[in-house]
Amino acid sequence: MSRFPSRRASLIALALLAGGCGGGDSPTSPTEPRGNMLSYTVLGASDGLGVGGSIVCAPFDLGCENGTGYAQTIRRRWVAEGRTVTFTNLSIPGTVLSKAIADLAISLGRPDPGSFVERYPAFVPQTATHITIFTGGNDANVIGSAVAVGAGGSDLRGYIDGQVRQWGTDLVDLVSRIRSRAPNAAIVAFNLPNLGAAPYMAGRPVQERSIMQRIASGLTDQVNGLTGRGVAVVDLMCDTRVLQPSSFSADGFHPSDAGYAMMAESGFSALSSGSAPLPEPSCASRSVLPVF
């Protein structure tokens, strides 16, 4: 039977806090959990709640045992194996990775979305044995929106690539902060699919879709770089199943139940073994559209 901690009050405070703690980024081999006890922490945005699926969980709801998102499915698989799972879901819809992207969103007239780096690390349990990170979709949309209103001027490629590099630096910072809290946890990160080819971009000009392809591919490369820091990466970019229409919900952006099930399948395998096949540096999915 799963065990859900009574940490609701402290987790609700997460939405109001912007603190975190730094630390080293030296990879640490995950420690075997004690007996059948696991502590699984989810760092995500709306995806971590299963938005787009048929059963969506509310933020900070540590129950929601029937949720159809990848995180809830992973938890159920462990429970079915007879494990006792302490589940900490820190996901908040709309959240972006870093303050740099949050500030960019604010400059576009949007509300402050909050950032993974500032919100989440302080709430990662020090006893966490397994952690998943899925970020980048909201960030890609913010960068794409900035380009659409003229950011970057005549050097769009240089602007996009600069945003991507900063995002990668902030991603490494996030992992460093997480390791300072839970040095023995197995960490699994999902990279991004080609958002330029996702259904929500259909009907937009080809150049706009190609720009989104460049952004998503760049962010994916930054996630892939975490393999050198002891993080297992699940390769959504080059999984040919991901861009199938059935993998997306009606909004064309979030995964459907089928899409979340694929994420759970790959994520569970990586979490359980502590490793994943190295992500592919190139594949057909990266260039569905003309390369910008």
Question: Does 23 have pLDDT greater than 70?
Answer: no
- pLDDT band per the 50, 70, 90 thresholds, residue 34: low
Model pTM score: 0.89
190 compared with 35, residue with greater pLDDT:
190
Question: Does 76 have pLDDT greater than 90?
Answer: yes
Helix/strand/coil percent split, the chain, to 5: 45, 10, 45
The backbone region for 2, taken as left when phi is positive above 0, alpha when psi lies in -120 to 50, beta otherwise, is beta
- Quick one: pLDDT at residue 35? 61
Question: Does 16 have pLDDT greater than 60?
Answer: no
- Quick one: pLDDT at residue 190? 98
Question: Does 1 have pLDDT greater than 60?
Answer: no
Mean pLDDT across the chain? 90
Q: Which residues contact 44 (CB under 8 A, 6 or more apart)?
A: 71, 89, 90, 91, 132, 133, 134, 135
Question: Does 2 have pLDDT greater than 90?
Answer: no
pLDDT digits (tens, 9 = 90+) for 82-124: 999 999 999 999 999 999 999 999 999 999 999 999 999 999 9
Is-contact 189 232, C-beta < 8 A? yes
Question: Does 25 have pLDDT greater than 90?
Answer: no
- pLDDT band per the 50, 70, 90 thresholds, residue 61: confident
Provide, rounded to the nearest whole percent, the portion of the chain with pLDDT above 90: 86
C-alpha distances (whole Å) from 18 to each of 53, 112, 147, 274 are 29, 12, 27, 30
Question: Does 22 have pLDDT greater than 60?
Answer: no
Which of 28-32, 182-186, 193-197, 263-267 is least confident?
Answer: 28-32
pLDDT digits (tens, 9 = 90+) for 177-224: 999 999 999 999 999 999 999 999 999 999 999 999 999 999 999 999
Tell me what the mean pLDDT of segment 119-136 comes to. 98
For the chain, domains (ranges, CATH) are 29-279 (3.40.50.1110)
Q: Which residues contact 246 (CB under 8 A, 6 or more apart)?
A: 256, 258, 259
